[in-house]
């Protein structure tokens, strides 16, 4: 019985033996684009991506030698340019409408909740990591066609805040891979790439204000992650 109790105690203490917290700063230049979807009548499409920039503070909490829970707080840029058929502005008797483009630029405050899986050293002082998980985010700034206020040509030129066109929350799946290099006793450099797949339709304009049916617009970001741990 004593041996069994000792074995159970050792298994319970083992995760704590590896527990350590590493805190760092990260910057993430990125390519962001939008994933619209709609019926063929309006035919929403992604026209172009945009360069964005993000950064913030992060924490790796190790619960095993090669396993860590990752979180932090980041400002993340998202958006892109979409195109769609607008029947409202079609010439008299027209059946297809005119093609309209809208540039959407968004900035989110984002909380990642991911797990990092590290390899053993693949070169002196160098380890590869794989990152999987998700994030929650809230928009803190929005611009439409470069402006904070949108002048709606289909509503007597009334102005609305660009932020009112966007849902007040976003959620993403995150997948990434990278490498860490040990510079000193507690200093590490990291570099990697990650993909952030938006899960939530953030549109609050086209369906509510314009009466378009079944319009969905979601975020996507490919990021280059560069960081320093202390």
Question: Can you give the pLDDT at residue 16?
Answer: 46
Residue 180: φ, ψ to 5°: -120, 140
Residue with tokens 């509510």: 208
- What does the pLDDT average to over 69-88? 94
Q: What class has domain 19-229?
A: mainly beta
Average pLDDT over residues 40-57: 96
Mean pLDDT in the chain?
A: 89
Taking only the tens place, the pLDDT of each residue in 101-144 is 999 999 999 999 999 999 999 999 999 999 999 999 999 999 99
Domain positions in the chain: 19-229
% the chain with pLDDT above 70: 87
Distance from C-alpha of 36 to C-alpha of 82, rounded to nearest angstrom: 7
User: 150 - beta bridge partners?
Assistant: 160
Q: Which residue has the tokens 């805190």?
A: 23
- Predicted confidence (pLDDT) at residue 94 exceeds the cutoff of 90: no
Residues 221 and 76: beta-carbon distance below 8 Å:
yes
162-187: per-residue pLDDT in tens? 999 999 999 999 999 999 999 988 89
Residue 220 tokens read as: 């996507």
The maximal CA–CA distance of the chain, rounded, in angstroms, is 89
Q: Which of 35, 57, 59, 31 is nearest to 45 (CA)?
A: 35
């Amino acid at each position: 019985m004593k041996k069994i109790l000792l074995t159970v105690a050792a298994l319970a203490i083992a995760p704590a033996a590896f527990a350590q917290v590493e805190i760092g700063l990260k910057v993430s230049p990125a390519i962001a684009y939008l994933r619209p979807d709609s019926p063929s009548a309006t035919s929403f499409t992604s026209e172009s991506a945009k360069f964005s920039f993000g950064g913030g503070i992060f924490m790796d909490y190790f619960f095993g030698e090669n396993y860590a829970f990752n979180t932090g707080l980041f400002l993340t840029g998202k958006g892109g340019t979409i195109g769609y058929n607008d029947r409202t502005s079609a010439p008299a008797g027209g059946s297809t409408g005119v093609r309209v483009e809208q540039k959407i630029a968004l900035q989110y405050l984002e909380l990642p909740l991911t797990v990092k899986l590290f390899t053993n050293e693949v070169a002196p002082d160098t380890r590869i990591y794989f990152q999987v998980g998700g994030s929650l985010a809230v928009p803190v700034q929005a611009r439409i066609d470069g402006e904070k206020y949108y002048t709606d040509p289909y509503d007597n030129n009334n102005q609305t805040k660009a932020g009112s066109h966007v849902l007040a929350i976003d959620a993403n799946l995150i997948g990434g891979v990278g490498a860490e290099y040990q510079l000193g006793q507690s200093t590490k450099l990291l570099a990697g790439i990650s993909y952030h797949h938006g899960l939530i339709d953030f549109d609050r304009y086209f369906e509510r204000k314009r009466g378009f049916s079944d319009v969905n617009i979601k975020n996507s970001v490919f990021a280059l992650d560069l960081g320093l741990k202390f």
